[in-house]
Structure 1
């Protein structure tokens, strides 16, 4: 060998150890969750299954809860099968004691299949969709959906099926392979390829090629609204006849699986991070804390997680955070526990609810922006959170966040007891702030609150990135919030 050649110390073991030995807690579990939960309905079903496996009991809103709710019990309830509230009543709970609450959302930007989706044109089978985001036609779509060009898209959601007995039941569906793509126009065509684009005519996904003369029509009402190929694909996946499909809520989504990214697997690359990241951490933290019998035996509070649909479009409808869902659940819990232990207590009143709300505290857990070194000039100095560095306290003096000084003191005390670092985020004055479910819930419920989150890059892109350690930080902190709530509430008063 020539004397000028550098020595090669490469060993295969050095490379293999990078991604086999250093995967942080919950990183792989979060990726599996994202890949399974392709729609809000799938996420809600996932949480129902996880909660049931550890002893949570499903409640129906139509039922009388008073004889069902017991101190030490664990329960969950859904609305529209797209929003879920889970709660565990401590064995030492008495009416008027506080609720330790976390609120997040499980919807994500997507393309919703229109009620009439037939859109065949010039030999191409297309499917008409409506962008789900931004709060209004044309609003924010150019930025939010510019990343949807040239992606392999899957199809999934819920389907209503009529059985032989005439009853209509709901089934979830996710087609096993990518079925759609929105092709971009090559730059060679000049100005038409630059936009702006018409989202009604220029972003219609292609799903196949067909001859107009050979197009089959299914002889049902749904057959008049949708192509036979769409109906047959859904029916085949569910193992039913196309004539049994009554209706559906379907959407397109990024079909590419999540993965760990980086030389040392420092990142997670995934779709739907906003906000299945914080909702995953919240439910997991609740399960971890309330599966501890000693903790439940000593707890004098109610531990609650609410994961809502509709956040990306304003949190409206009966299953959005702006609805009465959380308030009704809180009131029913308190009412069911009045006199449950044989105490001589006056009946449930608004006064008792007011006491409960004042003794409670809520974390609005929604993702926020991580520092992007390629755009360093747009961040507020000292408030640009980093991936893999801890949870983030989000601030906004104009009411887009719930955070105030006493709440920061509360959150930092929880962090110290839980062994998790905190960071700050606030948008600059020359940028536009986003929002969360926190302000609307805090306003409606009268509960002290803070916006505390995990950070990500590429928010509202079809595919985003977070730190591989961040799911674990979220679980550790939010579990600690439940475990240390009674201690911290005695140290940091919120009645200012």
Structure 2
């Protein structure tokens, strides 16, 4: 090779391999969470279990909280079993002090089983579904759901069962294997394979083969609406009779497990990243911070996380961020007059809640777009977030995000104290911005806020990817938000 350094024989022990100790913190825990939390109901149940193990006490909306909530206590409440709010009250808290809020969402794009799902045709068992996503049906399928062709789909959700005492009980179900697939049309057929498609008839998942007229219907109302095989599969998994199934909310989802990806496992490939990622980071951060007795002992604030359903379809209904869920929880915490010993009823006032809101700060935590090198020209220079680099401050002057100059100062101060890098994201003027739960909650609650994200690629695809270090960065930053809140609030917030 003429004058170069002598070549060295390649040996197997020259290979640099990634051992288990090199896997970034929380990467495997996040993958476990994703694989278990196949629906919003499963995610809510997962958080309930983790919070209970960390010493949190479940409270019910229909019960009085005044005699229950105490300074130094840790609590959680759910709504519709698909949204959850958890909070810890500092031992030094007094009414009027602020709330350190993190809000996110735990719903994800999926296909909901229709109330009448029988769709068998010409010997094929099929299941009728509807897209769960924002926008019109055509827009949803052409965009987000174009990635759902040729995927192995699982089935899960919540099922209402008639108990032996006549009461209706809820059970969660997730069938153990893939049960459906939406086959694409081979390119050999020419123009019909290119679309446009009628997604009501061209994208119906196939679940099996049954000769016409051979299926014996279940003699119930549900048996008229759904196939016998679907009902039997759900009943078998739950260990109940098909006759006891009253109704259900079921959905199809990507059944393929998460995995680390890349030559050195730099990435996580997973379904449902939007937004199981930020909700996982937020709830883990809360548990980490509030498991430290010294933190709770010195804290004069309420540390609170809200993970909402319905975000992908507009955040409406009683479980969405537009509802009164977060506002009611905050008002009831203030109304309980933490530390007022012996009071059964406390003198709650709008004045007191107004002071509380002004002393509070909210992080709206939702995933954002990472830089994709194959589409370099669509990103704003200087605002192209990278995977495995840090959290992302999302900006938009048209109020799709809550970020302002004072809130950026707040977020960067938290980052410095937490030793986590921040990046910026803003959409170009010739592109369309998405939105988060942040603006609607900030408007309703009157709290200053920022949109702060963990970035990902392939947003709204059936399967996306994030950096293997990114769950850990998110948890470290959000835990720092709770731990350093009182210090940072005193530095930055000057009645902006």
Name 2:204's counterpart in structure 1: 204
Number of corresponding residues: 491
Query: Displacement of 1:393 after TM fit?
Result: 0.1
1:11 matched to 2:12? The reply is yes
Q: 1:254 to 1:423 in 2, by over 3 A?
A: same
Q: Which moved more, 1:346-355 or 1:334-343?
A: 334-343
Name 2:330's counterpart in structure 1: 330
1:179 matched to 2:175? The reply is no
Name 2:269's counterpart in structure 1: 269
- Alignment partner of 1:268: what SS? strand
Name 1:124's counterpart in structure 2: 124
Matches within 5 A, 1:45-194: 45-194=45-194
Provide, for residues 234-262 of structure 1, a one-character-per-residue CA deviation record: whole Å limited to 9, x for no partner: 00000000000000000000000000000
Name 2:307's counterpart in structure 1: 307
Q: Which moved more, 1:162-171 or 1:323-332?
A: 162-171
Query: Displacement of 1:347 after TM fit?
Result: 1.8
Matched residues in 2 for 1:228 and 1:252: separation? 18
Name 1:407's counterpart in structure 2: 407
Name 1:432's counterpart in structure 2: 432
Matched residues in 1 for 2:173 and 2:157: separation? 6
Q: Which moved more, 1:163-172 or 1:395-404?
A: 163-172
Matched residues in 2 for 1:267 and 1:19: separation? 15
Name 1:216's counterpart in structure 2: 216
Matched residues in 2 for 1:76 and 1:339: separation? 19
- Alignment partner of 2:126: what SS? strand
Matched residues in 2 for 1:10 and 1:442: separation? 59
Name 1:291's counterpart in structure 2: 291
| Structure-1-length-normalised TM-score | 0.97
Matches within 5 A, 1:377-456: 377-456=377-456
- Alignment partner of 2:202: what SS? coil
Provide, for residues 141-171 of structure 1, a one-character-per-residue CA deviation record: whole Å limited to 9, x for no partner: 2110010000000000000010111111000
TM superposition outliers: structure 1 runs of 4+ over 2 Å = 5-15, 135-141
- Alignment partner of 1:424: what SS? strand
Q: Which moved more, 1:140-149 or 1:397-406?
A: 140-149
Name 1:349's counterpart in structure 2: 349
CA contact 1:135–1:314 (8 Å) conserved in 2: no
Matched residues in 2 for 1:38 and 1:430: separation? 35
Q: 1:318 to 1:135 in 2, by over 3 A?
A: farther
- Alignment partner of 1:21: what SS? helix
CA contact 1:338–1:348 (8 Å) conserved in 2: no
CA contact 1:30–1:280 (8 Å) conserved in 2: yes
Query: Displacement of 1:342 after TM fit?
Result: 7.5
Name 2:23's counterpart in structure 1: 23
Q: 1:122 to 1:494 in 2, by over 3 A?
A: farther
- Alignment partner of 2:81: what SS? coil
Provide, for residues 369-397 of structure 1, a one-character-per-residue CA deviation record: whole Å limited to 9, x for no partner: 00000000000000010000000000000
Matched residues in 1 for 2:175 and 2:11: separation? 44
Q: Which moved more, 1:103-112 or 1:160-169?
A: 160-169
Matched residues in 2 for 1:60 and 1:20: separation? 42
- Alignment partner of 2:138: what SS? coil
Query: Displacement of 1:11 after TM fit?
Result: 2.4
Q: 1:339 to 1:264 in 2, by over 3 A?
A: closer
- Alignment partner of 2:86: what SS? strand
Matched residues in 2 for 1:422 and 1:87: separation? 26
Query: Displacement of 1:13 after TM fit?
Result: 7.5
Q: 1:105 to 1:263 in 2, by over 3 A?
A: same
Name 2:3's counterpart in structure 1: none
Matched residues in 2 for 1:256 and 1:475: separation? 25
Matched residues in 2 for 1:8 and 1:39: separation? 52
Query: Displacement of 1:190 after TM fit?
Result: 1.1
Matched residues in 1 for 2:162 and 2:140: separation? 38
Matched residues in 2 for 1:305 and 1:20: separation? 31
Alignment gaps of 5+ in structure 1: none
Query: Displacement of 1:116 after TM fit?
Result: 0.3
- Alignment partner of 1:126: what SS? strand
Matched residues in 2 for 1:86 and 1:301: separation? 14
Query: Displacement of 1:407 after TM fit?
Result: 0.1
- Alignment partner of 1:319: what SS? coil
Provide, for residues 170-213 of structure 1, a one-character-per-residue CA deviation record: whole Å limited to 9, x for no partner: 00000000000000000111111111211211110000000112
Name 1:461's counterpart in structure 2: 461
Alignment gaps of 5+ in structure 2: 1-5
Q: 1:218 to 1:409 in 2, by over 3 A?
A: same
Query: Displacement of 1:20 after TM fit?
Result: 2.7
CA contact 2:70–2:339 (8 Å) conserved in 1: no
Matched residues in 2 for 1:137 and 1:462: separation? 16
CA contact 1:281–1:474 (8 Å) conserved in 2: yes
CA RMSD of aligned residues (A): 1.5
